[in-house]
């Protein structure tokens, strides 16, 4: 089938097709140290309660609440990890530390700040003044108040982040069933493509940007990666590289180049012979010749391998990886919602529309006032909108504009409006030609720009797909304001 014969589909259609051919990988066992970033394949339950005993929340004295304030003998102590405490009878107290078991008989803890050490009594008996009466239960965590024995603390399908590692350790889950991580091979193609270490370049040569970039992208997505090198533009060499990827039992092969209209673009014919091409053209800028195929491998028990034929232009490769490969890798790794996350952002500058294809425009999202370099009209408009909001906040009693109890004063001085006047801005990375990889530099999102004539004006709201952590986004001069009253 000629390249042009492939039906042109949209990116949402392409994403659906890819995910419909993708299955979560089976479960493997990992230890706690290997759990970060993995997705649980089984729920995790608590084998015991936390705290396992009534535990003090403070350093101080375990008391009988009914005794009230006064002077008492200190008949024992309960330190975290030590069990030498005596029962506490009415009229006596025990020293206790944070996290230590509350001795039998005691029903409250008085923090040390509300006590006073007294001179020892007869026979060297320690004594203390309790300055405030306690209510029963005060500063005690009852058994199971954080986690009850048998509770499900984490669900199957949850991703293990930093806090989840702590939760797993708490309940003694040191051996975990998690989804396997996908094995991904990356192959560049092209007779003109040479290793990045090549210098100086020979005539007609360019360095291979895609392979290192896609290996990094797959590794960042949690995959185990295999570098398959660069394939020459011959049927034989390409077939050999494909066979090598199959031999390595990878779940996914990502190629770049060789999918457009040239007579040495051999990827589509190869995939059509060896497997099934599900799409070979996508209505998008950049990335039109994006190709997706599945191979069924009888020599490996009939297992299926996914092949993504990305375009050779590095930006097309970058965008196609994030839009269609990344969700597939996430689904394989067990993510219940593998799709890219979408937010709305305001354009900082005009964007020229493309009348032929919808564009995935690389941008840097940042929170704050209109960023430096924004269209000049924006600052005035934003200031006006903020002023209107101050007015609203002053009169309205509706829940959307209620300032915090302690912050009426701040709100009246405009602090609340400041917080509301800041928002998510989309700053274009500049010239979007698909060979210019600098247009992906610092990009943390791609904007979904409609296919139309004319210009999308600065200040328009557009949808953006997150492709990188916003934890490193640019910070506006002067920072972002805090909650009023904070």
* Window 28 to 47, contacts with a second copy (CB under 8 A): 32-33, 35-36, 47
Is residue 345 within 8 Å of residue 464, measured between CB atoms? yes
With CB under 5 to 8 Å by kind, the binding choice for 111 among Mg ion, a second copy, none is: a second copy
- Closest listed residue to residue 257, CA positions, set 225, 277, 229: 229
Rounded CA separation 22/41 (Å):
17
Mutual orientation of helices 235-247 and 267-274 as an angle, nearest 10°?
Answer: 50
Look at residue 472 and give its three-state secondary structure.
helix
Assigned token pair, 193: 């493509």
| Closest distance to Mg ion from the beta carbon of 190 (Å) | 4
| Closest distance to Mg ion from the beta carbon of 229 (Å) | 15
Assigned token pair, 315: 């930006």
Cβ nearer to Mg ion, comparing 258 with 403? 258
Is residue 109 part of the contact set for a second copy (CB under 8 A)? no
Rounded CA separation 82/163 (Å):
28
With CB under 5 to 8 Å by kind, the binding choice for 235 among a second copy, Mg ion, none is: none
Pairing of strands 281-282, 252-256: unpaired
Rounded CA separation 91/104 (Å):
14
Quick note: the x/- pattern for a second copy over 331-350, rule CB under 8 A, is ----x-x-xxxxxx-x----
CA atoms in the 13 A half-sphere facing the CB of 222? 23
> Contacts with a second copy in 354-373 (CB under 8 A)?
358, 367
> Contacts with a second copy in 271-310 (CB under 8 A)?
none
Q: Which strand (E) or helix (H) includes residue 364?
A: strand 359-368
Q: How far is CA 1 from the centre of its chain?
A: 40
Q: What is the dihedral of CA 223, 13, 462, 220, to 10 degrees?
A: 0
With CB under 5 to 8 Å by kind, the binding choice for 53 among Mg ion, a second copy, none is: a second copy
CB pairs under 8 A, 24+ apart, for 296-302?
Answer: 297/246, 299/246, 300/246, 300/249
| Closest distance to a second copy from the beta carbon of 133 (Å) | 20
> Contacts with Mg ion in 258-277 (CB under 5 A)?
258
Is residue 106 within 8 Å of residue 88, measured between CB atoms? yes
With CB under 5 to 8 Å by kind, the binding choice for 348 among Mg ion, a second copy, none is: none
Is residue 138 part of the contact set for a second copy (CB under 8 A)? no
How buried is 423 (Cβ within 10 angstroms: 0-12 exposed, 13-18 middle, 19+ buried)?
A: middle
With CB under 5 to 8 Å by kind, the binding choice for 318 among a second copy, Mg ion, none is: a second copy
Cβ nearer to a second copy, comparing 221 with 295? 221
Cβ nearer to a second copy, comparing 239 with 339? 339
For the chain, count helices (H), then strands (E): 10, 29
Is residue 454 part of the contact set for a second copy (CB under 8 A)? yes
Rounded CA separation 425/369 (Å):
8
Which residue in the shown chain puts its C-beta closest to Mg ion? Answer: 190
| Closest distance to Mg ion from the beta carbon of 258 (Å) | 5
| Closest distance to Mg ion from the beta carbon of 286 (Å) | 15
Q: How far is CA 364 from CA 259, 377, 435, in A?
A: 29, 20, 19
Assigned token pair, 328: 């597939």
- Closest listed residue to residue 274, CA positions, set 299, 320, 239: 239
> Contacts with Mg ion in 165-194 (CB under 5 A)?
190
Piece of 66-74, 178-186, 187-195, 295-303 that binds a second copy (CB under 8 A): 187-195
With CB under 5 to 8 Å by kind, the binding choice for 486 among Mg ion, a second copy, none is: a second copy
Cβ nearer to a second copy, comparing 66 with 174? 174
Piece of 251-259, 348-356, 413-421, 473-481 that binds Mg ion (CB under 5 A): 251-259
Quick note: the x/- pattern for a second copy over 385-424, rule CB under 8 A, is x------------xxxxxxxxxx--------x--xx-xxx
DSSP secondary structure letter of residue 139: T
| Closest distance to a second copy from the beta carbon of 25 (Å) | 18
| Closest distance to Mg ion from the beta carbon of 252 (Å) | 21
Cβ nearer to Mg ion, comparing 44 with 213? 213
Is residue 236 part of the contact set for a second copy (CB under 8 A)? no
With CB under 5 to 8 Å by kind, the binding choice for 419 among a second copy, Mg ion, none is: a second copy
Is residue 451 part of the contact set for a second copy (CB under 8 A)? yes
Give the binding site for Mg ion (CB under 5 A): 190, 257-258
């Amino acid at each position: 089938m000629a390249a042009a014969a492939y039906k042109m589909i949209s990116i949402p259609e392409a994403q659906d097709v890819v995910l419909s051919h993708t299955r979560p990988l089976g479960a493997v066992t990992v230890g706690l140290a290997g759990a970060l970033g993995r997705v649980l394949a089984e729920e995790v339950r608590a084998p015991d309660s936390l705290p396992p005993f009534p535990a003090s929340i403070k350093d101080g004295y375990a008391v009988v609440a009914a005794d009230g304030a006064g002077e008492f003998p200190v008949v024992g102590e309960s330190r975290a990890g030590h069990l030498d405490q005596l029962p506490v009878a009415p009229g006596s107290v025990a020293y206790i530390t944070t996290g230590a078991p509350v001795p039998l008989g005691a029903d409250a803890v008085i923090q040390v700040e509300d006590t006073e050490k007294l001179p020892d009594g007869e026979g060297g008996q320690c004594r203390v003044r309790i300055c405030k009466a306690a209510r029963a239960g005060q500063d005690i965590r009852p058994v199971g108040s954080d986690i009850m024995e048998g509770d499900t603390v984490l669900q199957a399908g949850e991703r293990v982040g930093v806090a989840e590692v702590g939760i797993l350790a708490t309940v003694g889950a040191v051996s975990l069933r998690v989804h396997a991580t996908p094995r991904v091979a990356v192959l560049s193609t092209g007779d003109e493509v040479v290793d990045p270490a090549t210098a100086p370049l020979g005539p007609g040569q360019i360095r291979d940007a895609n392979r290192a970039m896609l290996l990094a992208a797959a590794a960042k997505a949690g995959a185990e990666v295999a570098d398959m090198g660069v394939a020459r533009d011959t049927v034989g060499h390409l077939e050999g590289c494909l066979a090598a990827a199959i031999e390595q039992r990878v779940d996914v092969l990502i190629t770049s180049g060789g999918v457009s209209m040239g007579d040495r673009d051999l990827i589509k014919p190869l995939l059509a012979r060896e497997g099934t091409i599900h799409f070979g053209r996508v209505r998008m800028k950049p990335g039109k010749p994006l190709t997706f195929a599945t191979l069924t491998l009888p020599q490996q028990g009939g297992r299926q391998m996914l092949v993504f034929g990305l375009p050779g232009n590095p930006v097309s490769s970058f965008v196609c990886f994030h839009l269609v490969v990344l969700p597939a890798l996430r689904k394989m790794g067990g993510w219940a919602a593998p799709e890219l996350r979408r937010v709305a952002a305001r354009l900082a500058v005009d964007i020229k529309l493309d009348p032929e294809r919808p564009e995935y425009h690389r941008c840097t999202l940042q929170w704050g006032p209109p960023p430096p370099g924004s269209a000049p009209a924006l600052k005035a408009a934003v200031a006006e909108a903020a002023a209107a909001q101050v007015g609203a906040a002053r009169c309205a009693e509706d829940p959307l504009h209620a300032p915090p109890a302690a912050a009426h004063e701040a709100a009246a001085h405009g602090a609340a409006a400041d917080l509301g006047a800041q928002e998510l801005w989309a700053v274009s990375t500049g010239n979007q030609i698909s060979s210019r990889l600098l247009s992906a530099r610092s990009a943390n999102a791609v904007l979904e720009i409609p296919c139309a004539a004319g210009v999308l004006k600065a200040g328009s709201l557009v949808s953006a797909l997150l492709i990188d952590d916003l934890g490193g986004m640019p910070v506006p001069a002067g920072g972002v304001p805090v909650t009023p009253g904070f």
